[in-house]
Amino acid sequence: MPTNPISAVPVATARYYPRLSEVITVDDLPEFLSFVENGLNSIFDNIHYKNLQYSKGHRGDSAFYSLDIVSSKRLELSLPFDLKLVLNPDLKDGDSAISSFPITLEYQWEILAFIKTFSSASFSFSIEDFYKVGLDVFRISEEQVLAQMLNVFVEAQEGVTKYEQLLADINDLQQITADPTYQELAFPEGAEQSIDSVIALINNNPGINESISLLLFAVYILRSDIDETKSRLQEFYNIIVFQEKTRLF
């Protein structure tokens, strides 16, 4: 006995939109956004997206993201006469069950191109910190710092060499001479005067705990007047930058 065929009625299936956290985590963002890390993790877990496009700088210092944020259901307001006001209807892909919001995120944190471990959380933005970052960016050794200070700031008094003047300037630094046990730096009789011998004297002095770079910063760059300190720091790095450009070109 024949039976009447039952036609299948297609059932609309909700489309799947992945969570934002599946492709973007706080680890992908620059470190200076770490103060909102917990909040971003929670947001990324509860936001869905589509049409993601992104690119990252090969040096790790920049990134660009473009995507559509997708709501879990269509956002709408009921109006008289059975009308509805739909907020951001999904016109691009025609999904009538959602609202979508196109957004872009772009950042450029140039310091990351030079210092991969740079942490804005531990950076005080003091003149000393900028000085130390510059040393890392230009990969300046303590020998090079000492040579730069000799060339730029050391003015030898009559009858003494630049090396002897540098030792005298260090011996006048109040933060180390305030210690009554401090032993003044001096070349032994007949010793060769050179950058290496100055470094050895400083490193072997028990009263000096700072690195040579920070010691010379305190002697020749740091001043009570902030504008003068900035000017001397600029003078120090102007020559470094000029030398770097000369080397490259």
Residue 127 has pLDDT above 60, yes or no: yes
Name the pairing type of β-strands 62-70 and 100-108: antiparallel
248: confidence class by pLDDT, cuts 50, 70, 90: very low
Of all residues in the chain, the percent with pLDDT exceeding 70 is 74
Q: DSSP string spanning 65-119?
A: EEEEEE-SS--EEEETTTEEEESSB-TTT--TT-BEEEEEEEEE-GGGGT-TT--
Q: Please report which helix (H) or strand (E) contains residue 212, including its range.
A: helix 212-220
Tens-digit pLDDT profile for residues 15-45:
778 887 776 666 666 555 555 555 566 667 7
Q: Which residue has the tokens 């700031």?
A: 153
The mean predicted confidence, pLDDT, of the chain is: 80
- Amino acid making up residue 109: W
Query: What pLDDT, on a 0 to 100 scale, did the predictor assign at position 112?
Result: 65
Residue with tokens 């001397």: 232
Does the pLDDT value for residue 210 go beyond 50? Answer: yes
Cα 146 → chain centroid: 26
Name the least confident of 119-123, 138-142, 148-152: 119-123
Confidence of residue 49 (pLDDT cuts 50, 70, 90): confident
| Domain ranges across the chain | 20-113, 124-248
Q: Quickly state the pLDDT bin for 64 (edges 50, 70, 90).
A: confident
Element spanning 55, H or E: strand 48-56
> What sign has the CA pseudo-torsion 232, 235, 240, 241?
positive
Q: 25 and 34 in contact (C-beta within 8 Å)?
A: no
Answer whether 98's CB lies under 8 Å from 89's CB: no
pLDDT at 229: 95
